[in-house]
A = this chain, B = another copy of it.
Amino acid sequence: MKLDPSPDVPAVPDFTVPEREGGYARGKAGHERILRAALDILIEEGYRALTMRRIAARCGLRPGNLSYYFPTKDALVRDLLEAIISSYEAEFGLIVADVSLSPEARLEKICVLIMEDIGTKKTTRIFPELWALSNHDGFVNERLQELYDRARVSLELLIAMINPALPLQARKDLSLFISASMEGLTVFAGYEKPFRGRMPALERIATRSFLHMVKTLGPKG
């Protein structure tokens, strides 16, 4: 099941709501509706505004009714974050599949895709919240690192193809650096950020820089 923020947001990585076995048909729609409302609030107004009342109001329910779907706010938020992170994971899995391209081209493509996603409202707004949360919430922290772990797998794979001589640790470090490097752009060139317009130039710098490192990093790290 897919879950977009709400109407017309392109949402490169969609939100996947885990299938609930044995649930009623309307029940699933209910969960999804609520999570979508919560997602919208998180994006538009931030984590502080993510209250049960506001979520309920946004999807036309009464506060009391939310606890029919989610026993506590914590459960709702966990499901929401899970759905958010899962949807990004689902996205990253598909990217490297295109075998018609060279490894270099594929690395470049994946980086460009990530950086373009960083420019979307959803990603610009949500990831800083996740980063902040992860400092004080073990669940978020673990799930988030899982997401990044999985995202780096693609990078590591491509790096190994481009520079097979590179040891595992160097490959891991490099993909970590590349990933972090791009994430860092969120605050500067993300949605409505001051250097939003420089993103194309930054993409060029980034890909060129990344490719050079991948190719020239020696076996000694």
Residue pair B132, A132 in contact (C-beta under 8 Å): yes
Q: Copy number in this complex? A: 4
Residues of B within 8 A of A129 (CB): 132, 135
Inter-subunit contact B187/A183 (CB<8 Å)? yes
Closest residue of B by beta carbon distance from A43? B135
Q: Is A177 an interface residue (CB 8 A)?
A: yes
A205 to B144, CA, bound (A): 24
A46 touches B188 (CB 8 A): no
Q: Out of B47, B131, B187, which one reaches A180, CB within 8 Å? A: B187
Asked if B213 and A209 make an inter-chain contact with CB atoms under 8 angstroms apart, the answer reads yes
Closest Cβ of chain B: how far from A113's Cβ, in Å?
A: 17
- In the complex, whether A195 has a CB less than 8 A from a CB of chain B is yes
When A177-B209, A188-B148 are in contact, do A46 and B202 touch as well, CB less than 8 Å? no
Instruction: Name which residue of chain B comes closest to A195, CB basis.
Output: B176
**Residue of B at shortest CB range from A144?**
B187
Instruction: For the complex formed, measure the closest distance between the CB of A14 and the CB atoms of chain B, giving whole angstroms.
Output: 21
Shortest C-beta distance, A184 to chain B (Å), equals 3
Given A180-B184, A185-B180, A212-B212: A205 and B132 interface contact (C-beta under 8 Å): no
Instruction: Tell me if A97 is interfacial: C-beta within 8 Å of chain B.
Output: no
Question: Residue on B with the closest CB to A137?
Answer: B46
Are the C-beta atoms of A205 and B198 separated by less than 8 Å? Answer: no
A61 CB, min distance to chain B CBs, angstroms: 16
Taking a contact as CB atoms under 8 Å apart, the answer to whether A187 and B131 are in contact is yes
Inter-chain contacts of A47 with B (CB < 8 A): 48, 132
Check if A173 sits within 8 Å of B132, measured CB to CB: no
What are 7 of the A-B contact pairs (CB < 8 Å)? A46-B135, A131-B186, A144-B187, A148-B188, A176-B195, A180-B189, A184-B185
Binding site for B on A (CB under 8 A): 45-48, 124-125, 128-129, 131-136, 144-145, 148, 169-170, 172-174, 176-177, 179-189, 194-195, 198, 201-202, 204-206, 208-209, 212-213, 216-217, 221
Beyond the given A46-B136, A128-B134, A176-B202, please list 10 additional residue pairs across the A-B interface where CB-CB is below 8 A: A124-B135, A128-B135, A131-B131, A173-B201, A174-B205, A176-B189, A177-B202, A180-B187, A180-B189, A212-B213
